[in-house]
Amino acid sequence: MTPKTKPFKFSMSKNELLCGIIFLPIFMVPLRTLVLLAAGLFDPNISTERYSMIFFLVSFIIVFLIFRNFLKQSFSDFLDAKFFSFSSIISGYIGYYIIAYVVSLLSFGLNAGANPNDRAIFEQVKLNQSAIIAISVLLGPIVEETLFRGVVFGSIRRKNRLMAYLISFLLFAVYHLWAPFVLSFENGVIDWSLLIHLLDYLPASLVLAWSYEKSGSVWSPIILHALINILSITAVLG
């Protein structure tokens, strides 16, 4: 079987999908606040990197409990189609940097400045490498790919391929930038340049969805996501 005839798979059950649709908006917005409030009861001076670690650990546990069967089946699909799995990771990785370069040229042309989310992560890396690496390489990719590629892209892809790419990208981008946008609003000066930074998440969103589509397994974008993150962190530390 050639890559062109490889069918797209979506092995998530109806119950898993329903729970995912319910949990996704909770994960994107209020869960962070709830975790911060709960952690603050035990440690009022909790650091940002430690709080992030707790947030992703809680998210990982919830995702595992909901999607353990989906992840298990998807891992079997990954092993059953090793050629498609690994080729989608390699091609996706190369494609990511090509698309990212093009997007960076556009962003600089629009005077977007530095991405506030990336800037915050890079600062956290310098303060606590172990925690941020655990989040970026293990917890984050599993949680985010299961939700944004598994739940969002996978479910919509069965009906409309273009909408699957578009909606998964928009939700993925908004998830990373809603907090800085709200913060700027609370300070009385809305930073509309953050809308331009939505484009920063287009390269990753495209290649991660493509990797899932071509391999038929959510573990391909999970591994690709982890690879992109660890090399980005390595560049910062270097």
The predicted pLDDT at position 186 comes to 61
Domain borders along the chain are 10-237
Whole-prediction pTM value? 0.91
Q: Is residue 162 within 8 Å of 87, Cβ to Cβ?
A: no
Residue 50: the pLDDT is 86
Note the pLDDT of residue 149.
97
Which mean pLDDT values do the consecutive 10-residue runs of the chain (238 residues) have?
A: 59 96 95 87 84 94 98 95 94 96 77 71 78 91 98 96 97 89 67 80 97 95 96 76
